[in-house]
Structure 1
Amino acid sequence: MPCLNEAETLAICIDKAQGYLARSGVAGEVIIADNGSTDGSQQIAAEAGARVVPVADKGYGNALMGGIVAAHGTYVIMGDADDSYDFSKLDPFVERLRAGDELVMGNRFRGGIAPGAMPPLHKYLGNPVLSTVGRVLFRSDIKDFHCGLRGFNRESILNLGLITTGMEFASEVVVKSTLGGLRISEVPTTLDKDGRSRPPHLRSWRDGWRHLRFLMLFSPRWLFLIPGLIGFVVGMIGTIGLMFGPLVVGNVGFDVSSQVYLAALTVVGWQAVLFALLTKLYARHEGFYLPRSRSFERFAERATLENGALIGVGLFILGVVIGIVQLVAWGASGFGSQDPIDTMRLAVPAALFLMLGAQTVMASMFLGILSIDVRRA
């Protein structure tokens, strides 16, 4: 149990957990991962028979990791020390863990949420939205991503390399367990109104954003690759189409001013695509857990400095060729005055391919740095 000033409810939670251990015959211990309490929680925990593990680094994730590392058991069940979860009813978690599941999540929406136990903002917006985002981005079956009561195989979770320090730790456990191929299940659990008189440590908008940010950053496909591809394709088609004259769609006309904006969209889209690919290649190189696929693995095998540089040089040369064509046409007219609109029709795509080529070459150079084999301690 992570603990920060939980004197009002800590003893109740410990008594319930110890009662479950005695009733079920499970050989276990109750660990209180104290994150710097100043209300005497440490003494209360010790007197109640729990083992207190001081965790100096602040944060929900830090406290939990401190307790997980210090635990002696094969399995760990974690839950908040505010008496909102019933530690006397852990049989479903233990059954699934003994059956071989490596992560067992509680589901409060299936088990029941007592009146006043969860703010409407969390119940109808925050948790459903964030859980849906997590299921879509990571193809997870978990419907309550942020339930605080969960059990897991201690060794399996430690092997995931969990790194977050705050509330987003709850999301990180589910995401990395899913990406790591762990066997995951979900069981109904209840949520009661907590027994504290003080406000909770959770800050709805701040912590909700931290969860969402983590989910998005761990899915570069949806954050960068897909939006980038859409921007690149739309921008490129529009830029090339306007090389041959104005376009009219319905009652809307597009000309060189639109071409400039479309070219900018192409550059931004291509940069997003490159960033997504480099992010995944870096994660692959460092052994991080990010979503992978057979198509990406095939791409990764061919993604070398030389191949990327060839593509970049090809794009750059294409821009140079368009510029030379335009220069020759200008020379044929005696280098006199030019129609600015006709000039822009070719100048914009020429500049676009020069920029795309330069971007690609520089990205390939960075890829070359990633591919250097180094000796690790």
Structure 2
Amino acid sequence: MNKTVSVVMPCLNEASTVGPCVSSTREILNKHQLQGEIIVVDNGSTDDSAVIAQKCGASVIFEPIQGYGSAYLKGLQAIKGDFIVMGDSDGTYDFREIPKLIEPLYKGYDMVIGSRTKGNIQPGAMPWLHRYLGTPLLSRLLNFFYKLNLSDINSGMRAFTKSAYQKMSLTSSGMEFASEMLIKARHVHLKIAEVPIAYSVRKGKSKLNSFSDGWRHLSLILAYSSTRRFMLPGFLCLMGGTAISGLLALGPLKIGTFKFDYHYMMAATLTTILSFQILSFLFLAKTFLAKKHQSSQDVLFHVIHRFISLHGIKSSMISISVGFLLGLSIIYSWVHTHFGELNKVRTGLLCFTFLIMGLQLLFATLFLKIIDSRDS
């Protein structure tokens, strides 16, 4: 059974390329006898992009709110096809590859990503920073947090079914729209495939902002990520440092001919303090980003959030008090020996650990309350 295809292209001052993109799309649809429509979303162009697109046979929709996601959300509201193909109108994507892109949809896949890294990237088409750092790094992060296996999460050429689009409930207005689509596709258990595609040198000035767009992708990836995977490395370091510090606080530890003394306790104590600081920062960052993107969170996140909200200040006061008492015991011993030689290294390390971690928890709790107060 033939499916109808809706091709959606965002457009911002692409007068030199939008015409060829629309024309090549119309030709390939006709060649393969595919019924469909071509929708160009003009995102505030000041040139003749909209006029050219209409002359070439596209339906033009206007979206005054600028943004990659905003343009697509406007265009996707108007689609009538069973299959949806999205791609930029700047000449970088070859719309003659549409049949290859939608073929997996006929085989039961819900979404298909056109992978530039598995295909042919023309020299100069992708900046070195994007090709060898940004895209691989973000792809690995998204694969790690969401158990995906994709090579190019930033690809702008994709195909998916109309029912898949309806399940995802997309909302992002910027470049992070591409990441949100994959994250929500994973959340609703969509079946995703990749096919290699070509990527050409664009005509005209690029509208990408490497660092701000990269941050928007990264913040959204972290906002929706599993709390366990997000915080696991820091938690393991914290537990390891705490366990070693606790053992060595009782005295030197001898394993065979090797002796672990307070020098190793210093390293373990530093690991514990830094791990706790990193965990505090990560949790606060995740809380802030989750609220910013209004993303739902897992049970572990809510357990940690509830504990810190209800017991953070009390727990920090207990930790500070323990540290203070350990400090007093050191001073007492010093006075008791008439200010003579003092050998309380282990007690001193424990004292500083409890004091510093107590203060860290106190400030983390106060900052969490500031973040939460933004909703009230």
TM-score tier after normalising by the smaller chain length: 0.7 to 0.9
More deviation in 113-122 or 335-344? 335-344
Q: Does the C-alpha gap of structure 1 residues 77 and 304 become closer, same or farther in structure 2, counting only changes over 3 Å?
A: closer
| Partner of residue 349, structure 1 | 350
- Are 1:137 and 2:136 matched, yes or no? no
**CA distance, structure 1, for counterparts of residue 15 and residue 371 of structure 2:** 50
Q: Secondary structure at the match of 1:13?
A: helix
Q: Does the C-alpha gap of structure 1 residues 86 and 348 become closer, same or farther in structure 2, counting only changes over 3 Å?
A: same
| Partner of residue 225, structure 1 | 231
* RMSD, aligned α-carbons: 4.6
More deviation in 327-336 or 12-21? 327-336
**CA distance, structure 2, for counterparts of residue 333 and residue 115 of structure 1:** 72
Amino acid corresponding to residue 40 of structure 2 in structure 1: I
Query: What are the within-5 Å matches in structure 2 for residues 254-333 of structure 1?
Result: 255=263, 259=266, 263=269, 265-273=271-279, 279=286, 288=295, 297=299, 299=300, 305=306, 320=321, 324=325, 327=328
* Alignment TM-score, normalising by the size of structure 1: 0.73
* CA contact 2:87–2:93 (8 Å) conserved in 1: yes
Q: CA deviation at 1:111?
A: 3.7
| Partner of residue 200, structure 1 | 206
Q: Secondary structure at the match of 1:73?
A: coil
Name the structure with the higher strand share: 2
| Partner of residue 103, structure 1 | 111
* CA contact 1:14–1:50 (8 Å) conserved in 2: yes
| Partner of residue 26, structure 1 | 34
More deviation in 156-165 or 173-182? 156-165
* Gaps in structure 1 of 5+ consecutive residues: none
Q: CA deviation at 1:95?
A: 2.9
Q: CA deviation at 1:208?
A: 4.2
Q: Does the C-alpha gap of structure 1 residues 48 and 271 become closer, same or farther in structure 2, counting only changes over 3 Å?
A: same
- Map Cα deviations across residues 146-191 of structure 1 (whole Å, 9 max, x no partner): 2221012345335434343333322222233223321211123222
**CA distance, structure 2, for counterparts of residue 303 and residue 222 of structure 1:** 11
**CA distance, structure 2, for counterparts of residue 104 and residue 369 of structure 1:** 41
Amino acid corresponding to residue 206 of structure 2 in structure 1: P
Percent identical: 31
- Map Cα deviations across residues 110-169 of structure 1 (whole Å, 9 max, x no partner): 443344444455444443343333323322122222222101234533543434333332
| Partner of residue 54, structure 1 | 62
* Alignment TM-score, normalising by the size of structure 2: 0.73
Q: CA deviation at 1:79?
A: 0.4
* CA contact 2:224–2:290 (8 Å) conserved in 1: no
Q: Secondary structure at the match of 1:112?
A: strand
Query: What are the within-5 Å matches in structure 2 for residues 61-140 of structure 1?
Result: 61-140=69-148
**CA distance, structure 2, for counterparts of residue 205 and residue 303 of structure 1:** 31
More deviation in 200-209 or 316-325? 316-325
Q: CA deviation at 1:86?
A: 2.3
Q: CA deviation at 1:255?
A: 4.8
**CA distance, structure 2, for counterparts of residue 236 and residue 341 of structure 1:** 25
* CA contact 1:309–1:364 (8 Å) conserved in 2: no
Amino acid corresponding to residue 3 of structure 1 in structure 2: C
Q: Does the C-alpha gap of structure 1 residues 223 and 111 become closer, same or farther in structure 2, counting only changes over 3 Å?
A: same
Q: Secondary structure at the match of 1:53?
A: strand
* CA contact 1:53–1:67 (8 Å) conserved in 2: yes
Q: CA deviation at 1:8?
A: 0.7
Q: Secondary structure at the match of 1:89?
A: helix
Q: 2:10 aligns with which of 2, 14, 21?
A: 2
Q: CA deviation at 1:43?
A: 1.1
Q: Secondary structure at the match of 1:190?
A: strand
**CA distance, structure 2, for counterparts of residue 14 and residue 185 of structure 1:** 25
* CA contact 1:107–1:143 (8 Å) conserved in 2: yes
- Map Cα deviations across residues 76-103 of structure 1 (whole Å, 9 max, x no partner): 2110112232223312333323444222
- Map Cα deviations across residues 248-294 of structure 1 (whole Å, 9 max, x no partner): 999998559x84x864653442354356567489969x98366x6xx
Q: Does the C-alpha gap of structure 1 residues 80 and 254 become closer, same or farther in structure 2, counting only changes over 3 Å?
A: same
| Partner of residue 194, structure 2 | 186
- Map Cα deviations across residues 26-48 of structure 1 (whole Å, 9 max, x no partner): 33221111111111111111222
Aligned residues: 363
| Partner of residue 153, structure 1 | 161
Q: Secondary structure at the match of 1:88?
A: helix
**CA distance, structure 1, for counterparts of residue 236 and residue 115 of structure 2:** 36
